[in-house]
Every structure is written in structure tokens, then in C-alpha cells.
Amino acid sequence: MSSASIKISAANKKLDCTIPLTGSKSECNRALIMQALSDGAVQVENISEAADTVTLNNILKDKAQEVVDIGPAGTAMRFLTAFYSQQAGEVILTGSERMKQRPIGILVDALRTLGADIQYTEKEGFPPLKIKGPLQQKTNKVSIKGNISSQYISALLLIAPKLEQGLNLVIEGELTSKPYVQMTLAMMEQAGIRHTWADNVISIAKQPFDKSVINVEPDWSAASYWYAIAALSKEARLFLPGLNGYSLQGDSMITEIMANFGITSQFKDGGVYLMKEAKKLERKIFDFKECPDLAQTVIVCCAALGHDATFTGLETLKIKETDRVNALQTELAKIGVKLIEKNQTYKLDCSGLDLNKKIHVATYDDHRMAMAFAPLALVMPELEIEDHLVVEKSYPDFWKHLEIAGFELTIDS
């Protein structure tokens, strides 16, 4: 059920504040699975407040459930499919109506090849799943397409150390979102799990997790919205504590992308300072193959600046919380901007851009739609975004942080 809409305006276009971001959802979800697989040898600090992570954490603490409903948490669905296939017992793994429309067949096929007992209870290739474990391993080699979802690959890698024969994972074709796979492996190394990666094969032998503590870094995905806010402001000096320049998170690439918009990133005092400098935006092509979760934020930012940029690497956006490409096309049209698709390349046409009006933005049950469009309040008279609680999926304090920055918010009663 959708929540009330929220109206946003920004009389003050000059920003100077500190924003304390929650822990990374991506890092935290991996760390929690590792903690569960290690029987507590791995401990997790700075656990994310994101609803998806809270859901996953609660599920992993109560392993006696016969039916596990992860709601709209996509990462949890992928990771738990692999996790439960390795655990003793039988479980039904289900989620929201949208989750039942998101494909999982590639991961299930890979797990079945390894020996997992997984059945579809409704539609073939989609949740809900009936999983009976532990899997009786038939082979240590499995192939998976690299251009669908890196979460499938990470799900398999996470359980690899517990498999009797270990795992040799063959990645077919080009690997999308490679930084997320690298993040998984780097975090596993922090817990003592060794791997080799030669050509397109990642190998992990059966081995124990070391006693270790994983301290989750703040969320670079959440930081990306503040980069967009800085880009659309008149002046900006923002401090985001806890972030560092050597992050495991692929979305830290926002520092390089937003440098094109005149946003500098200075790492000191245990965090990053964002400052806006006058700079003409000239870059015409942005590739999101390795950081697709940044696409909406950057595309909306370009549209607001009237920059007819071209975008690639958006293939996975159509199987996210919503069809994000279609959602962007529909909502950008409300400010007179077209996002035109041709042969997996997307180009903005800002010739009809009109920011001198109020618009109502639909969010399609997608947290990133709400947060990607919120910065438009800096360049429009007033913005209304539906379903304000949708942000709880990844960044529950987003609206509170906008108020810290000086935005004026009104929730429709």
C-alpha cells in the first residue's frame, strides 16, 4: 500500500551542512550472509538502517521460519535462494507482487546444476520458491551469464566456501556490474576466504571463515543523491562522514562522474567534502555498465541542466524494482524531456525542457525514483513525489536529511 505524497521546495539554493549516511546496504547484506554462514565467526558493525537490510537481518536471526517473505528486497531474494539451498530443511521463499515478476531462473538453474533441490510454486522462472536443503553437490563447476545480474554471481560466491567440492564459477560473456562482484570477493577476503580469478573463472575452495569483524562503510548509493543536489544548487559545501576514497562500493564512481558537473570530492577529516565549482558540462557519454544504480540520479541531473547526454549500460534497469527505463521516460516527459532508446543506447532530448511549473512524480514502488527526482526541487517552484515512505528500502532518513540541508517538506495528510 502506497504512503502519502511529499511536497518539496528549496528557497535556499546554497547548501552548507553535514549529512550522516547509514551503512551501505550492498556491503551489509553480504556481511550478514557471511555472518550466518560462519555460525557467528564473522561479526558485522555499522549495520544499515535500510529496510531491505533490516528484513534480511531479522530473517537470518530466525532460521526456523517455514515461509520467508522478503517483501520487495531483491538482493535478499537472490542471496537467500543460495543460502537456503545450502541449509538443512525446507522453506518457501516469497516476496511482494513485484518480486514475483522479477526473474530468478538463471540463479536457480545454476544452483540446480550444483545439486540444489529448488521448485517453483507458481510461475516457472520466478518466485516463490520451495527450497529443500542442504544441496547434495554433483559438480564443482557451473556457468552463469555475466550480463544479467551480478547478484546471481555474488549469491553463488557467498556459499562457495561451504560447498563440499568448492566452486569454479564460469562467467559467460561480458560481466555487468563487475565492482559488485569485486566487493563480494574483497569482503570474503576480510573474513579469510581465499579465491582465484583467472580469465572468466572464479574459484573458491571449501574453507572456514576466520573470526573477524566487518565494519560496513556508509552507503555511496545514498551519497550519490547529495552529489546531484550539489550539482543543482547555486553553491554547495557538504560533508559526508565515514566515506573514503578507496571504497569497495562500485557506486563510489559517482565522484568521477560528478567531477564533470563541477563537484569536487576532498577526502579528509574522516569523510568527504563536496564542493561546487563553476564548470561547463561537456561530457556527452556516460556508461553505467559497472554502476547501474547511479543511472537514474545522473540522467535526471543531466535533464535538469538541459544537457543532451547519451547513456549506455542500462540493460539491467528493466528488471529492477520497476522498469526503470520506462519510468524515467514517463516522468522526464513531465518536464518536457525525452529519453530516446536506440540499440541499447539512450539519448536525452532537452529541447522542450520546462522547469517553470509544478509536477507530481510517480515512484513505481522504486526508492531510487523518489530520490533521483528530489533534487529537482532546487530548480523548480515546487515538486511533489508520491509514496514518500518508498525511500525506506535503502535510505530511511532521506527526507529528514533534506530538511537538515534546508529543504522545505510537507507530507500530504
Q: How far apart are CA 295 and CA 316, in angstroms?
A: 11
List the grid coordinates of 408. Answer: 522545505
Q: How far apart are CA 393 and CA 396, in angstroms?
A: 7
Beta-bridge mates of residue 218: 23
Q: How far apart are CA 150 and CA 146, in angstroms?
A: 7
Q: Helix or strand or coil: residue 297?
A: helix
Strand 201-204 and strand 196-198: the pairing is antiparallel
Catalytic residue IDs: 293
Among 291, 288, 277, 332, smallest CA distance to 308 is for: 332
User: Which residues make Cβ contacts (< 8 Å) with residue 217, sequence separation at least 6?
Assistant: 23, 24, 27, 46, 242, 243, 244, 247, 248, 249
Element at 303 (helix H, strand E): helix 295-304
The per-residue DSSP string of 304-344 comes to HTT---EEE--GGGGGSSS-HHHHHHHHHGGGT-EEEEETT
List the grid coordinates of 27. Answer: 556491503
